[in-house]
Structure 1
């Protein structure tokens, strides 16, 4: 968490901030599904089917993605929720 916050604080332009957010917040398998990509796919597909959208439009964000909450300064645990964001033009 400390490295994440230090790297975030060191960014000095909008393009670097956008790249950092894409890489750390949107891209890759979320912490909550670490080592279980099939379950992550199934999770997204189930939501996509329910809302009739493409599964690529579904993201896990927050502590479920990162493994910690930079806002609350707290590590993800069994009491943490999983924040899902849907980005769809539909």
Structure 2
């Protein structure tokens, strides 16, 4: 798969690679049944559409395209990375975080939280502490229980929340563009 991907770096645009490998193609780690099951349980938890849940990262591709682990194979240290693309859920969290900050509250990761927010996605590890922010507790409790269930293997399941497909595509194509630049 890596060789095919590298070959496509020479022949396809980053958008085409995104569509072929991130949005399309088979999932390396999970068969269709398990991937359906994972997406379904996430949809039920957050009351979002099935197509709002995508598997990304090395679990999807079999290797990483992130700069720090570029072309490293999925292994026992890897996470299952999920992208939720839901404007409604994003808006809910954004509004709750804004009201929390407006109340005068601050948290150590607030600057980074709002930086990622301006890039169109929410990193849950930058949310306010769960003792003060219900969504943080809901999020981590769900994904930690899903991880410890081992239903999808002995891997951490981690997820980012995106405002729209535009921002997911932008995030992914940054890494793809870096792969293209390294190839030439």
Same fold (TM over 0.5): yes
Q: TM-score range by the shorter chain?
A: 0.7 to 0.9
Cross-structure match for 1:32: 29
Instruction: Give the 4+ runs in structure 1 shifted more than 4 A.
Output: none
1:59-78 alignment runs, 5 A limit:
59-71=54-66, 72=69, 73-78=71-76
Task: Identify unmatched segments of 5+ residues in structure 2.
Answer: 89-184
Q: CA RMSD in A?
A: 1.7
Task: Identify unmatched segments of 5+ residues in structure 1.
Answer: none
Report how far residue 10 of structure 1 moved.
Answer: 4.0
Give CA deviations for 1:19-39 in whole Å, capped at 9, x if unaligned. 221111122331111xx2111
For 1:88 and 1:29, how far apart are their aligned partners in 2?
23
Cross-structure match for 1:46: 41
Report how far residue 2 of structure 1 moved.
Answer: 3.5
Aligned length: 84
Tell whether the 8 Å contact from 1:44 to 1:55 is kept in structure 2 after alignment: yes
Give CA deviations for 1:45-75 in whole Å, capped at 9, x if unaligned. 1001111001111011110110011331311
How does the TM-score come out when normalised to structure 1? 0.79
Report how far residue 89 of structure 1 moved.
Answer: 2.4
For 1:66 and 1:88, how far apart are their aligned partners in 2?
23
Report how far residue 9 of structure 1 moved.
Answer: 4.2
For 1:81 and 1:45, how far apart are their aligned partners in 2?
19
Report how far residue 86 of structure 1 moved.
Answer: 0.6
- Greater radius of gyration (CA): 2
For 1:8 and 1:78, how far apart are their aligned partners in 2?
27
How does the TM-score come out when normalised to structure 2? 0.42
Cross-structure match for 1:8: 9
